[in-house]
Structure 1
């Protein structure tokens, strides 16, 4: 009976001693490192490269959009007017190029030929007149001055005939190759101007370039949208990641490619696996602490990014994420 009493007396003492030993052991263990980060995701601002008045916005906050969906439209009478000007210029340049390619009209060629024939007949008449005056001069009937005047008129008529013939030949030949090429290039330049204005006109119908969820609608129908000003913001939660600031004495555990489990309190007690995809090349003192003087340096922090290995349902931007 005394043996059982002794054991009964020893057990509480042993329990107390064990508890005290565990407490002292736990007190001297290093405290667990807890890091808190937040969720971020790729965000896109949808804007127009041309200014204008918003005609209508076709989405609201919370709407899911897909690539190619029409987001908003702009009303820009100035672009419509410039497009009409550009098209008119294209038509004019095209007509000039066609005219240069075809050359003179048949009526113009016939008129030039008639002018040449007229000048040719005048030159023939002046030649005969000179010959008659020259004969009279040789017979002593006509003064030398009259003969010289008749000769000058004959030569002038010959030059007029040659000039008329050159005009006729030029009309038959048509425009020079250089003129045709210049006219064709002007037509091509005008077509480029039309294409440019059409591109601006097409940008009044603004579509989404990405899939995502609408987070902000900054401008509404009737308001003026400056060039490049964001009208609608879209966030793609399929392209989400976690951001942490890791102290350098713990950075060795978070090299690029390392995996770890993390808790997202907003989504319950389940842990999710993340993979480090980026480690900042430069540290900072955004969150720093002074170390003991014997260690000789202060702790820097490095920003890391980690992406979930599997999609996480219900994930939102700004949610806290905890790693121990």
Structure 2
């Protein structure tokens, strides 16, 4: 019986040793969790203009800190200056036409119209006297009906001429019609609009920074031509920084917007900071599928996850690596 006890004890000790070796082997051989690596990003603005021209002066250099509204470059555009001269000339011409319509005819024209009216009235009065005399003679059967009709026709013509002269004089006094004045004023407003458009292009000749930040790129050199919308410089806003990660869906583990994660930044001597997840979206389907195992199972898709630091991280620059602490 004593021998049996010894045998059982040996077997138990052996089992414990085998179990311990298995646990130690599992711990040693257990793979480390796959690190989730991303990078810091920041808002970047492309500075460009509406007006094509030649870069006359560059006021900034790459790496220079600038403030919102600072001038980055001046673009020289002779075409805009020519259009400004044309717009000013059109404005002056339209103003002159409007003034002419408002003031009416010149004093000399009014006087001439008045003299013609008076002349027509005298002629009418003279023929009226002749017609009255002819009427008496016609009633007494002294003159023929033909003579009477001739004088009557001349008087009617003189009367009509007097009315026409009176209308011409009245028109000269009143000036242009209300419609003509409105049309002339509309031409002035149209010229004002064209002038405002050209003046707005003048403001576009000075390219300014849309935000505080650092000049990350300057594309053309002084003297080079740039087209409409062509970028002249890039400004990076270091106050608007976030982390972006590409995470396989089997590593998300229920991560959702609003969750807080701890991010370690190797470039800042391993400094850690908290960040809040504010964006989760699947990436484009191309080149984002990855098998979870070499055989069977399923393909995992990649998601883009963005997180904003809870507090400002001094020294953090776009492009620095970021690791999610698990």
Q: Which residue does 1:38 correspond to in 2?
A: 39
In structure 2, what is the Cα distance between the partners aligned to 1:254 and 1:310?
21
| Residue correspondence of structure 1 range 128-207 to structure 2 within 5 A | 128-131=129-132, 145-207=146-208
Total equivalences in the alignment:
310
Higher mean C-alpha deviation, range 214-223 or range 109-118: 109-118
Q: Give the equivalent residue in structure 1 for 2:73.
A: 72
The 3-state SS of whatever aligns with 2:300 is: coil
TM-score, normalising length: structure 1: 0.85
- Runs (5+) with no aligned partner, structure 1: 1-12
| Aligned mates of 2:292, 2:22 — CA distance in 1 | 30
How does 1:266-285 map onto structure 2 within 5 Å? 266-280=267-281, 284=285
Question: Could you tell me how far apart the structure 2 residues matched to 1:204 and 1:285 are?
Answer: 42
Q: 1:87-114 CA deviation, whole Å, 9 max, x = no partner?
A: 1211222222233333334433332222
**Contact 2:282/2:302, CA 8 A, preserved across alignment:** no
Correspondence for 2:210:
209
Post-superposition offset of 1:68: 0.9
Find the aligned partners of 1:179 and 1:160 in 2 and give their Cα distance.
Answer: 26
Q: What is the Cα deviation at residue 290 of structure 1?
A: 1.7
Partner of 1:50: 51
- Is the CA contact (8 Å cut-off) linking 1:285 and 1:301 kept in structure 2? no
Q: Partner of 1:297 in structure 2?
A: 298
Distance 1:171 1:130 in 2: 32
* Change over 3 Å in CA distance of 1:208–1:303 after alignment to 2: same
Asked if the contact 1:61/1:214 (under 8 Å) is kept, the reply is yes
Which residue number corresponds to residue 5 of structure 1?
none
Q: Secondary structure of 1:280's partner?
A: strand
Distance in 1, matches of 2:286 and 2:258, equals 25
- In the alignment, is the contact (CA less than 8 A) between 1:42 and 1:235 conserved in 2? yes
Which residue does the alignment assign to 2:104? 103
TM-score (norm 2): 0.84
User: What residue is the counterpart of 2:247 in the other structure?
Assistant: 246
Q: Distance in 2 between matches of 1:294 and 1:17?
A: 32
Number of the residue aligned with 1:8:
none
| 1:115 and 2:142 correspond | no
Any conservation in 2 of the 1:291–1:297 contact (CA below 8 Å)?
A: yes
- The answer on whether the counterparts of 2:249 and 2:303 sit within 8 Å (CA) in structure 1 is yes
CA separation in 2, counterparts of 1:234 and 1:103? 58
